[in-house]
Amino acid sequence: MPTSKIARLESDRLLAVIFEYMTKITVETDIEKMVMNLADLGKELVSADRCTVWLHEQSEKLLWTVGGHGVQKITIPDDSGLVGYTVRTGKELNIEDAYCDSRFNRTIDEETGYRTDSVLCIPFHNAEGSIIGAFQAINKLTETKIFTDHDLELLKIASNFAGKSLEAFILRNELVETQKEIITTMGEIGESRSQETGFHVKRVAKYSYLLACLSGIPESEALKFKYASPMHDIGKVAIPDSILLKPGKLTEDEFVLMKQHTTIGHNVFKKSKRELLQIASIIANEHHERWDGNGYPKGKKGEDIHIYGRITAVADVFDALGSDRVYKKAWPLEKITTYMAEERGKQFDPRLVDLFLDNLDQFIAIRDEFIDGSDV
């Protein structure tokens, strides 16, 4: 076969490998899985026995990896070994025999019983050009057992992609954390209007997450639901104090105004393209709907009510009944569970009530962890 055709086939294979891993990495939300995908990419590109992605914690002068082939999480000083040299100097390394290089740190080999021979080590950068880590490939799996200049160029591709991917991952996580913090703060503001504590939104969020997991919702989705849950009553910020803080029963007209907090909360978030705020919009709008169709704002019935609304209804009522409010004292647990059972198939999704009552001890544990007036 002509050399040009072999080269073309090799290029096609490499492109296929790169695109395969790019697809996996760009959608990954777990940093450990993401780093392992990056390590797998490097290993396959250069036919190495092992590959590790090291991250540089500059403020602490540490290098660490959450995983790699044959190793668990490792933390070393950033002036240690070949990877430390690469991160400090920004220089690429192609070492034929690590044990003949004075910069090589044998500690990990001695601890694991592994024998490092050939090594490739390449730094990767963020968008500003700062080194944020390094790619390290170990032991070439060919007859020569030596990495070539071509391998070095291929690992540069993986290294460049690693820098961009990890920086994007960090920024995306920071954005999500910021959204979560804003959501929780705004939820607490909404509760403070009705003289309730911030622990109410924390408890409802934890109850909702637990019930979502028990109901079979995947954990990744249940977590998003948990983060958005504190916004369930954000619409209360627009309800007059004369209604919100009234100690007695509301008049019919007052109750009409009170019910508007669901629609107000929905309208605040419905145009957002952020996933957490879209979920918050659904929760705010549907957590006062009833299984029997007698709820508000739209009188939805049964499974026409979004599962987020049905779960929040159980979590919110359980917490509200067990808390002091301006219009009532907290109910004892036995009275609450009796009410929840009586409202099975009426106010609440019957399956969710069964899950709640069958796992009551877990909900009580959450309640006891976040007691109003505590310093938790």
Looking at the structure of the chain, the number of domains it has is 2
145 is annotated as an active-site residue: no
Tell me, yes or no, whether 14 and 123 share the same domain.
yes
What's the order of all strands across the beta sheet hosting 119-125?
74-77, 62-65, 48-57, 131-140, 119-125, 93-95
Q: What is the pLDDT of residues 13-55, one digit of tens each?
A: 665 666 676 666 666 667 777 778 788 888 888 889 998 888 8
Give domain status of residue 82, yes or no.
Answer: yes
Tell me, yes or no, whether 13 and 124 share the same domain.
yes
Tell me, yes or no, whether 324 and 238 share the same domain.
yes
Tell me, yes or no, whether 245 and 342 share the same domain.
yes
Q: What is the CATH number of the domain that holds 154?
A: 3.30.450.40
Tell me, yes or no, whether 143 and 206 share the same domain.
no
Tell me, yes or no, whether 263 and 142 share the same domain.
no
Q: Residue 168 has what pLDDT?
A: 64
Tell me, yes or no, whether 70 and 151 share the same domain.
yes
Confidence class for position 1, pLDDT limits 50, 70, 90 = very low
Give domain status of residue 185, yes or no.
Answer: no
Tell me, yes or no, whether 166 and 232 share the same domain.
no
Q: Residue 4 has what pLDDT?
A: 40
For residue 265, give every residue at least 6 positions away whose Cβ sits within 8 Å of its Cβ, in sequence order, or none: 231, 232, 233, 234, 235, 280, 281, 284, 285
Give domain status of residue 177, yes or no.
Answer: no
**Cα–Cα distance measured from residue 259 to residue 147, given in angstroms and rounded to the nearest whole number:** 69
Please name the residue that has the structure tokens 């499974």.
303
Peptide bond into 218 cis (omega under 30): no
Tell me, yes or no, whether 165 and 266 share the same domain.
no
Q: Residue 74 has what pLDDT?
A: 80
- CA angle, 85 as apex, 79 and 88 as ends, to 5°? 75
Share of the chain above pLDDT 70, in %: 79
Q: Residue 23 has what pLDDT?
A: 63
Q: What is the CATH number of the domain that holds 268?
A: 1.10.3210.10
Q: What is the pLDDT of residues 150-200, one digit of tens each?
A: 888 888 877 776 766 676 666 555 555 555 665 665 555 555 544 454 578
pTM: 0.54
Tell me, yes or no, whether 236 and 316 share the same domain.
yes
Q: What is the pLDDT of residues 207-262, one digit of tens each?
A: 999 999 999 999 889 988 998 888 888 888 778 878 878 888 889 999 998 899 89
Tell me, yes or no, whether 205 and 158 share the same domain.
no
Give domain status of residue 187, yes or no.
Answer: no
Give domain status of residue 12, yes or no.
Answer: yes
Q: What is the pLDDT of residues 255-267, one digit of tens each?
A: 998 899 899 888 8
Residue 7 clears pLDDT 50, i.e. is over it: no
Which domain, by its residues, includes 138?
Answer: 3-171
Active-site residue, selected from the candidate residues 140, 226, 236, 300: 236
Q: Residue 191 has what pLDDT?
A: 55
Give domain status of residue 167, yes or no.
Answer: yes
Say if residues 116 and 136 touch (Cβ distance below 8 Å): no
Share of the chain above pLDDT 90, in %: 37
Give domain status of residue 61, yes or no.
Answer: yes
Tell me, yes or no, whether 49 and 165 share the same domain.
yes
- CA angle, 179 as apex, 173 and 185 as ends, to 5°? 135
